Amino acid sequence: MDLTNCFIFFLLLTSLYFALTRKTPPKKHPPGSTGFPLIGQTLSFLHAMRTNSIEQWLLQRTSKYGPVSKLSLFGTPTVFVHGQSANKFIFTCDGNVLGNHQPPSFKRICGERNMTALIGDDHKRVRGALVSFLKPEMLKQYVGKMDEEVRNHVEMHWHGNQKVMVMPLMKTHTFNIMSSLIFGIGKGETRNNLIELLQHMMNGLMSLPINLPFTRFNRSLKASAQLRAFIKNLISERKAALEQRVADTRKDLIACLLGIGKTEPSIRMSDEEIVDNVIGVMIAGYDTSSVLITFLVRLLGMDRSVYDKIVQGKRMIQVPGRWANYDFGPSTMLKSGI
């Protein structure tokens, strides 16, 4: 009996040995290098982003490795594709062939249920809920709020100044409008605290995912946790107000998403999904909108013919309850700040 047990044990060890030492055919990977573990090409990529030389950085990879190459960014294995055929493949294949995938650092900051991290039916459901906030009948409710924010901003930061830094002001202006439309929060200490949290989160998105004290990523995670706690409390307040019928579902984005869950169950969102996607909306709209407005103002400041055409073609614009006559006023020296 002992001899039989020894023989069986020997067979198991032999099988395990051959299983571990058996050579598997190498997987077919595109050319390129993933660099050092975790770091990869992240540092050179970030340097190119900050020095506005990202196009040259990408062209160098293309000339060295061809239109398809592998690399590592933010601790994630990545494939870089370039050219018309690659673009056609990316934008025409469905989610079953190529799914959206965000780096782990992005998910940890913005959440697992963020729309950009979802695929298939979940992505369609969450997108449908968010798009409902942008319907024309909903947007009409926010024109007055946006008009008031614009007037206050121009009065406070532009009137009487011969020189203004456009980019920082546009970031502040964009965030003020977002705070009003997303949270229903006016100017004050709460709004000032929120913009600091958002800026810390934005800095962490484009950094190495190393969660050590005093790193950008660590500060970003802490800011994300604080912002999540704030949004969760706001959701609880909105739920209570809606149940007592003392709040309108058109008050802000959070109230809208909570109201949609009752009227359209097919696109209902959980509290976690609301938190993650509110953060996603803030991050998506903060930089893109402020940069776009900055370049529009820069065009007006640099090209007199465009400025004159807009002034000549200005019209009376109606907003709820009053008429507003928009005028750029006297010529102002502009500095873009970018």
CATH of the domain at 255: 1.10.630.10
Is the same domain home to 134 and 266?
yes
Predicted confidence (pLDDT) at residue 314 exceeds the cutoff of 70: no
Q: 187 in a domain, yes or no? A: yes
The pLDDT confidence band at residue 327, using thresholds 50, 70 and 90, is very low
pLDDT of residue 219: 92
Among the ranges given (30-34, 134-138, 201-205, 238-242), the one the predictor scored with the smallest mean pLDDT: 134-138
**Is the domain of 245 the same as that of 157?**
yes
**Whether residue 240 has pLDDT greater than 50:** yes
Judgement on whether residues 131 and 273 belong to the same structural domain of the protein: yes
Residues 223, 173: one domain? yes
In a domain, 51, yes or no: yes
Residue 101 within any structural domain of the chain = no
Gap between the Cα atoms of 176 and 203, Å rounded: 19
Examine the domain organization and report whether 219 and 146 are in the same domain: yes
Same domain assignment for residues 68 and 140: no
22-57 pLDDT, tens digit per residue, is 454 456 778 888 888 778 888 888 888 888 888 899
Q: What is the 3-state secondary structure (H, E, C) of the chain?
A: CHHHHHHHHHHHHHHHHHHHHCCCCCCCCCCECCCCCCCCCHHHHHHHHHCCCHHHHHHHHHHHHCCEEEEEECCEEEEEECCHHHHHHHHHCCCCCCCCCCCHHHHHHHCCCCHHHCCHHHHHHHHHHHHHCCCHHHHHHHHHHHHHHHHHHHHHHCCCCCEEEHHHHHHHHHHHHHHHHHHCCCCCHHHHHHHHHHHHHHHHHCCCCCCCCCCHHHHHHHHHHHHHHHHHHHHHHHHHHHHCCCCCCCCCHHHHHHHHHHHCHHHCCCHHHHHHHHHHHHHHHHHHHHHHHHHHHHHHHHCHHHHHHHHHCCCEEEECCEEEECCCCCCCEEECCC
Instruction: State whether 81 and 130 are in the same domain.
Output: no
Higher pLDDT, 319 or 270: 270
The more confidently predicted of residues 266 and 273 is 273
Same domain? 127 vs 86: no
User: Is 46 among the domain residues?
Assistant: yes
Cα-based distances in Å from 296 to 147, 155, 205, 222, 290: 18, 19, 26, 34, 10
- Asked if residue 127 and residue 34 are part of one domain, the reply reads no
Confidence of residue 16 (pLDDT cuts 50, 70, 90): low
Same domain, 176 and 297: yes
For residues 320 and 129, the model is more confident at 129
Query: 109 lies in a domain?
Result: no
Q: Tell me the average pLDDT of the chain.
A: 79
> Would 20 be classed as within a structural domain?
no
**What total number of domains does the chain contain?**
2
**What's the confidence (pLDDT) of residue 225?**
94
Domain around 72: 30-92
Is 268 or 316 the better-scoring residue by pLDDT? 268
68 and 146, same structural domain? no
pTM of the model: 0.74
pLDDT, mean of residues 218-230 = 93
pLDDT at 166 > cutoff 50: yes
307 belongs to a structural domain = yes
Residues 88 and 126 in one domain: no
pLDDT at residue 224, as a whole number: 93
pLDDT tens figures, 270-284: 889 999 999 988 888
Position 20 pLDDT exceeds 70: no
Indicate whether 326 belongs to any domain. Answer: no
- Residue 232: per-residue pLDDT: 93
Q: What is the pLDDT of residue 320?
A: 44
Neighbours of 195 (CB within 10 A): 18
